[in-house]
Amino acid sequence: MIPLVIGYVGGYAEGSHKKAIQYSLVFVLGLTVTFTVLGIIAGAMGRLF
């Protein structure tokens, strides 16, 4: 997965460090939100069962 992200960020943000940083931050925030939601769901399921 990491090579795909590097290729995406490097390919679309060529020449612009600001765009590369922006894409990287969006990626990291997306991962954070996804795993947070999955953790909340797993915690809730653990309490229910």
Q: How many C-beta neighbours within 10 Å does residue 8 have? A: 13
Q: How many C-beta neighbours within 10 Å does residue 19 have? A: 13
Domain that holds residue 24: 1-47
This prediction has a pTM of 0.66
Instruction: Specify the number of domains making up the chain.
Output: 1
The pLDDT value recorded for residue 13 is 58
Q: How far apart are CA 21 and CA 12, in angstroms?
A: 11
The pLDDT value recorded for residue 21 is 83
* Tens of each residue's pLDDT in the chain, 49 residues: 667 777 767 766 566 778 878 888 888 899 999 999 999 999 988 876 6
